[in-house]
Amino acid sequence: MTLDNPTTRAVLCGAGLLAASLAAVLLSVAEGAHATDLGAALSHIWSDDGSNVAFAVRALRLPRALCAVGVGAALALSGALIQIVIRNPLGDPGLTGVTAGAAFGVALTLTLLSASPSLLVGAGVAGGALAAFLTYSLARSPAGLEPLRVILAGIAVTVFFLAATSAVMVVSRSSMQTLYFWMVGGFINRGWAEFHLFWPVASAAAVAVFAMSPILKLLQFDDTMAAGMGVSSQRWRIAAGALSVILAAASVAVAGPLAFVGFVAPHLARLCLGKDAAPGMLTWLITTMLMGAALVVWADAATRVIFAGRVPAGALITILGGLAFLTLARRGVRHAV
């Protein structure tokens, strides 16, 4: 049992992250306006005694925590995919325009179109795909996709769709406060309805990603090298990019435009698995998902406890994630900028 053995290490990482997520879920379930001790809260999950506390646990706290777990995992996986597709460790759905595009699609559906909530995920995917296409067209050059350019084009697309989302919400007479809450992303008032919209799409996409992992391995090389090894990389990059958009858009439909999770989680996963040897693709993807889940559910739990529920988790995630991005982009990440 040494940490040097990569398999042992991967198993320990996975178990640790799983335990961390579970702890945050338990904290979220027990913590709230109706103070509940942990044992009672847990028993309410299984049995409904009609009390207010039971309602809070079953209908409010549990689904919210599950949303945070799912969204964290999906965003992390989406970020890992983008990093592979554009071959740049700075990739993040929030920086490539996808999140903002999805947010626009969702906001439009929620307000002006007042369409049924079941369309939210579809609207998010459509918006995200549009944004991804715009970013791609902007960044494309005869030399192929240069990583840094993708992110710059992504920033332009992000700013545009965030402004458009704000405009849509202002015109539809949302209060500025609602707008502000939604635009930063979080899990306040998210419940079973959102979770049921989210999980089928996200799990299907995740399964597809796992199935693709042997090919994702080769997409880490440039197009000619990948082709030399036997992969039509252009086509697979588009497929992987599409899965990444779906995962990010489904997350946005639930939680609004959370930034930086997709960037931070894959890096932390790599650190956990050991810097010396690159982990296997599948191991890395799974650890990344667990990492994302743990990060987001903890961010939600922490903001609930610290700010008494008044601040959405997105604020904390943006601050910490952005700082992590700046640090890593400045120091640790080679080739990137």
Partner 1 sequence: MIETRNLSVQYGAKSVLKNINIRFDTGEITALIGANGCGKSTLLRMIAGLQSPDQGHVLLHGKAITQHSRRAIAREIGYLSQSPQAPEGVTVRQLVEHGAFSGTRLFRRPAVQAVDEVMDRVDLLSYADRPFDTLSGGERQRGWIALTLLQAPKILLLDEPTSFLDMGYRIDIMRLVEELKSERGMGVIMVLHDLNEAARFADRIVALKDGGILRDGDKSVVDARLPEALFGAKVSVLPSGDGVPFIKPDW
Partner 2 sequence: MRSSASGLHVTLLACLAGLILMSLRFGAVPANWSDVFEIFAAAPGPEGRAILELRLPRTACAVLIGAYLGLAGLVFQTVLRNPLADPTLFGISGGASLAVVAAMGIATALFPLNASYGASAAILPTDLVPPIALAGGLTATALVVWLAWQDGLSPLRLVLFGAVFAFVLNGIVMVMVMSLAESRTELAILWLAGSLYARDFANFWPAVPWGVGGIAVIVAAFPWLSGLRFDAQTAQGMGVSTRLATPILLAAAAGLAASSVSVAGPVGFVGLLVPHMVRLIYGAALGPMAGGAAILGACLVVASDLVGRVIAPPIEIPVGIVTSLIGAPIFALLIRREIRRQSA
Q: Outline where the chain has alpha helix (H).
A: 6-30, 38-46, 52-55, 62-85, 98-110, 120-139, 147-171, 176-184, 192-219, 223-228, 233-255, 261-273, 281-306, 313-330
**Separation of alpha carbons 139 and 153, rounded Å:** 6
Residue 221 interacts with, from partner 1, partner 2, none (CB under 5-8 Å by kind): partner 1
| Least CB distance to partner 1 at residue 81 (A) | 15
Q: Which CB atom, from 32 or from 147, has the smaller least distance to partner 2?
A: 147
- Binding residues for partner 2, rule: CB under 8 A, are 95, 134, 138-139, 141-143, 146, 148-149, 151-153, 155-157, 159-160, 162-164, 166-167, 170-171, 173, 175-177, 179-180, 184, 259-260, 307, 310-311, 314-319, 322-323, 325-326, 329-330, 337
| Least CB distance to partner 1 at residue 102 (A) | 28
| Least CB distance to partner 1 at residue 82 (A) | 15
**Separation of alpha carbons 137 and 41, rounded Å:** 51
- Contact between residue 336 and residue 88 where contact means Cβ atoms under 8 Å apart: yes
Q: Which CB atom, from 83 or from 303, has the smaller least distance to partner 1?
A: 83
Residue 258 interacts with, from partner 2, partner 1, none (CB under 5-8 Å by kind): none
**Separation of alpha carbons 285 and 14, rounded Å:** 11
**Separation of alpha carbons 169 and 176, rounded Å:** 8
Q: Which CB atom, from 172 or from 213, has the smaller least distance to partner 1?
A: 213
| Least CB distance to partner 1 at residue 18 (A) | 23
Residue 177 interacts with, from partner 1, partner 2, none (CB under 5-8 Å by kind): partner 2
- Contact between residue 214 and residue 90 where contact means Cβ atoms under 8 Å apart: no
Q: Which CB atom, from 89 or from 186, has the smaller least distance to partner 1?
A: 89
DSSP-derived 3-state class of residue 198: helix
